[in-house]
Amino acid sequence: MTATLDALANAFVSMATPTMMFHVVWATLLGIFVGALPGLTATMGVALMTTLTYSLDRDAAVLVLICMYVGAIYGGSRSAILLNIPGTPASAATSLDGFPLAKQGKAGFAMGIATLGSALGTLVGIVLLVLIAPPLAQVALKFGSFEFFWLALFGIVISGQLTKAGHPAKGYLAGFIGLSVAMIGADGIHSHVRFNFGVTDMNGGIGLIPAMVGAFGFAEVLFTMSRPDATLVQPKPEKIDFGALWGRIWAYRRTVVQSGVIGTFIGIIPGVGEDIGAWASYAAAKQHSKERDQFGEGSCEGLTAAETGNSAVVPGSLIPSLTLGVPGSAAAAVLIAALYIHGIRPGPMIMIDQPTFIYSIAVMLTFATIAIGVFGLLLTPVFVQVLRVPRNYLMPIVFTMCVIGPFALTQRVFDIWVMFVFGIIGYVLRRLDYPMAPLVLGIILGDLLDKSLRRGLTLSNGSLEPFFTRPISAGFAVVIVVTVLFSFPAVRRWWAGLTRRGGNASGRA
Amino acid sequence: MIDKRILDSAVAAILMAIGLAMLWGGATMDRLEIRRIHPASIPGLVPMFLGAAIFILAFVIFRVSRRQARADTDDAENRVLSGEVRSFAVVVLLAAIYALVLVGTLHFWLASSLFVFTFIMVAEWPRLGTQTARLKSAAAAAAVAVIVTGAISYMFEQGFLVRLP
């Protein structure tokens, strides 16, 4: 424990420089703006910011990206409360109670509750990050090719299952499309070039950043321009009583801790993300609340649960990202790509190669949390003005950034084409209810799955036995099979019938 | 107006074709015998499995969407309105001209200014009733286009030392 506190103190001392504080201020503010504006998401913000930070040194670049991520997830609450349009998908649950509060003339109070809920949620997540990540990295050292194969498949399956909006097969299919994209280019074992169709630019594969900027940036521009414009609720000048705000949050302390823990653990599940964290926390709070009849009508507790839950996912999603190299959310997937650009290899070796890095991340998250707390409570009028920026002026500028950002990383016009193609594919798939998180996860995990399966089979001389007999592998295999089976309604009905009959039989006995 | 379920089955059919092509591509991929690699580590192994999985899942979606389309229930959720299709087509056209043609042909700042100005004017046009409103909007669009894209170009070129396309 003392070693952990020492490591945190050292990370704090090395980070608390005026330059780093300057980065915290501008990056968090920009993140809040990005999150607040409908049409700009946290993933898009982190992806575009990756292209802007590659010339910074490692710690400054990662700090800027973390502040952008935390700020954008929090910023989404502004438009959810004032426009009834979540600025990011993570804030969908926030609008359920935030917008009714704004209509009751309590927009300022609602934004205060959202700010404190977000800050406290991130803090709960940071504590769990520091407690869970180092031992998880130790466990991950026991992983071999067999376990990594199952881990990659587990990420795709669980993400496909939990993020689906339509038919369950669409979630899995999105994941497999992502894995297929990762098959393009030289393979990781023999360097044999696959599926390049004679285009030499594809020999190195499809870059994650251009693909993400397309799927989350250009696709979002297309979405925003094809939707009707929203009407802003004009917040009345309202003097916020900070004592009353704290009192209200203190009264919901159980909800804050519960939502923080739920959000963090949702974040640990590969590729699931902030929106699921918010909905799960909201549902759990509603179940236990004394004011559950007010949920959806302007409940401060519902708003607290949603905001605490989505913000706690941010540190949670960094736990598997740092220790296993498997992203906990779409934005964390971009963050992994950014870490590679800056010479950090996330994965089980992180506590050996960079033993202090996890603590540096915890300190960066803490700085970002303090910044959202301060800006969120003091700059409410400024954020209201930001929401007035007309989308017809904003969207072409966003697309210009989508073009220059991927180009800046590699200086290849080919990456602009990749962005464009992925934007259209992303728009069509999302319009047809295919989730994007498994697709992104597939692109990032494809190489790991491919290499682990073929290495494992080579080690076992072509036998599949170790994939099912090694304890961790067997555990993953069982979870995957159960998850896939239970996504079929017929299996769920059969299981429900079986448990009902079992219950009746024991009741009679 | 397009029926979303028909669009869904068309996309599923395309994905089925991609799955089959991938299965075929994986099966016929060079097995690198000349390099005496282990037969279990051939490069086409995972693409074969992925191709098969994509085909099966796309087939399931194809069947479900066809069945739903035949059910003949017309609700708002299943409609893609012509307004949305028009907006999508206009934005894609403008974006394609800019990203695939102008960038690399003209200086980045000029190409971006033209794109931003045209995009704003096309998007604002239906709301602009009078000549004065159009002139005002054109002036605002031109100012935003020149200043913002100039700032972006300067930031990348001078700040990040990127050779612009």
Report how far apart the first and last C-alpha atoms of chain B are (Å, whole number). 39
Pick A55's closest partner by Cβ from B96, B103, B160. B160
User: How far apart are alpha carbons A427 and B151 in whole angstroms?
Assistant: 29
Measured between alpha carbons, how far is A37 from A389 in angstroms, rounded to an integer? 8
Nearest-CA distance from A320 to chain B in Å?
Answer: 24
Question: Are residues A394 and A43 in contact, defined by beta-carbon separation less than 8 angstroms?
Answer: no
B163 touches chain A (CB under 8 A): yes
Chain B neighbors of A167, CB-CB under 8 A: 60-61, 64
User: Which of B4, B5, B50, B146 to probe the A interface (max A CBs under 10 A)?
Assistant: B50
b vs e for A378-410, b when ≥16 Cβ sit within 10 Å of the residue's Cβ? eebeebbebbeeebbbbbbbbbbbbbbbbbbbe
| Residues in chain A closer than 8 A to B61 (CB atoms) | 167, 169-170, 173
Provide the pLDDT for residue A235.
Answer: 61
Q: Residues 6 or more apart from B11 whose CB is under 8 A from it?
A: A428, A429, A432
**Is A149 a domain residue?**
no
Bridge-based pairing state of the strands B2-3 and B79-80: antiparallel
Distance between CA A387 and CA A376 in Å, rounded? 14
Per-residue pLDDT of B87-136, as tens digits, reads: 999 999 999 999 999 998 999 999 999 999 999 999 999 888 889 999 99
CA atoms within 13 A on the CB side of A48: 27
Q: How confident is the model at residue A292, as a pLDDT?
A: 84
* Cα gap B55→B17, rounded to integer Å: 7
- A431 Cβ contact partners less than 8 Å away, ≥ 6 residues apart: B4, B7, B80
Is A175:A157 a contact under the CB 8 Å cutoff?
yes
The answer to whether B20 touches B50, Cβ cutoff 8 Å, is no
**Mean pLDDT in order along chain A per 10 residues (509 residues):** 88 94 95 84 88 86 95 90 79 88 86 93 95 92 93 90 80 95 94 93 90 88 81 64 86 94 93 87 90 88 94 95 91 90 89 90 96 89 77 91 87 93 94 89 92 95 94 93 84 85 65
Q: Does residue B156 surpass a pLDDT of 90? A: no
For chain B positions 79-138, those within 8 Å of chain A (CB to CB) are 80, 83-84, 87-88, 91-92, 95-96, 98-100, 103-104, 108, 112, 115-116, 119-120, 123-124
Contact at CB, A392 and B99, closer than 8 angstroms: no
Tokens of residue A370, six digits: 């303090």
Q: Answer whether A429 sits within 8 Å of B11, measured CB to CB.
A: yes
Asked if B41 and A194 come within 8 Å (Cβ–Cβ), the reply is: no
Half-sphere exposure of A242 (CA within 13 A, CB side): 6
- Residue A483 CA to residue A481 CA, distance in Å, equals 6
Task: Give the pLDDT confidence score for residue B73 in this predicted structure.
Answer: 66
CB of A372 within 8 A of CB of A74? yes
E-state strands within B4-149: 79-80
Residue A275 to residue A286: CA distance in whole angstroms: 16
Statement: residue B76 has pLDDT above 70: no
Given the structure tokens 């959720």, which residue do they identify? B77
Q: What tokens were used for B111?
A: 């190409």
Shortest CA gap B3–chain A (Å): 11
Q: How many structural domains does chain A have?
A: 1
What are residue A185's DSSP bridge partners? Answer: A194
Asked if B39 and B29 touch (Cβ cutoff 8 Å), the reply is no
3-state secondary structure of A194: strand
Confidence band (pLDDT; 50, 70, 90) for B69?
confident
Helix (H) or strand (E) holding A185: strand A185-186
Query: How far from the centroid of its chain's Cα atoms is residue A181's Cα?
Result: 21
Q: Among the residues of A269-390, which ranges form H helices?
A: 274-288, 300-323, 330-341, 350-353, 357-378, 380-386
Q: CA-to-CA distance for B113 and B136, rounded, in angstroms?
A: 17
A170 vs B contacts (CB less than 8 Å): 61
SS3 content of chain A, % helix, strand, coil (to 5): 75, 0, 25
Nearest Cα to Cα of residue B114 among B82, B140, B146:
B146
**A193 within domain boundaries:** no
User: Cα angle at A325 between A321 and A328, to 5 degrees?
Assistant: 35
Q: Does B10 touch chain A (CB under 8 A)?
A: no
Q: What is the pLDDT of residue A290?
A: 87
Residues of chain B in contact with residue A421, where contact means CB-CB under 8 angstroms, are none
Q: Could you tell me if residue A25 is inside a domain? A: yes
Rounded to whole angstroms, how far apart are CA atoms A245 and A146?
Answer: 51
Q: Please state, in angstroms and rounded to a whole number, the distance separating the CA atoms of residues A336 and A317.
A: 11
CB distance B50–A183 less than 8 Å? yes
At A238 the pLDDT is 63
CB contact under 8 A, A393 and B120: yes
List of chain A residues whose C-beta atoms are within 8 Å of the C-beta of residue B115: 396, 399-400
Residue A406 lies in a domain: yes
The answer to whether the CB atoms of A392 and B46 lie below 8 A apart is: no
Chain Cα centroid distance, residue A407: 24
B44/A177 touch (CB, cutoff 8 Å), yes or no: no
What's the domain range around A393?
A: 2-143+215-410
| Cβ A358 vs Cβ A134: under 8 Å | yes
Q: Determine whether the interchain pair A167/B61 forms a contact, defined as Cβ–Cβ distance below 8 Å.
A: yes
B48 touches chain A (CB under 8 A): no
**Which residue of chain B is at minimal alpha-carbon distance from A221?**
B91
Answer whether A432 sits within 8 Å of B104, measured CB to CB. Answer: no
Cβ–Cβ of B115/A169 closer than 8 Å?
A: no
Q: Distance of CA B50 to CAs A42, B17, B140, Å?
A: 30, 13, 51
Spatial separation of the C-alpha atoms in residues A433 and A335, rounded to whole Å = 25
Compute the distance between CA of residue B7 and CA of residue B9 in angstroms, rounded to an integer.
6
- Please name every residue paired with B103 in a beta bridge, in sequence order, or none if there are none: B106
The answer to the question of residue A475 being in a domain is: no
Question: Do the domain assignments include residue A10?
Answer: yes
Query: Which of A407, A434, A429, A427 shows the shortest CA–CA distance to A418?
Result: A407
Determine whether the interchain pair A416/B25 forms a contact, defined as Cβ–Cβ distance below 8 Å.
Answer: no
How much is the average pLDDT of B5-12?
Answer: 92
Average pLDDT, chain B: 90
CA distances from residue A89 to A75, A96, A262, A438 in whole angstroms, order as listed: 11, 13, 18, 15
Strand-pairing partners, residue B2, are: B80
In the structure encoding, which two tokens stand for residue A486, read together?
């239970």
**Residues of chain B with pLDDT > 70: what percent?**
95
Distance CA A287, CA B47 (A): 45
Q: Within a domain: residue A200?
A: no
Q: Cα separation of A396 and A106, whole Å?
A: 34
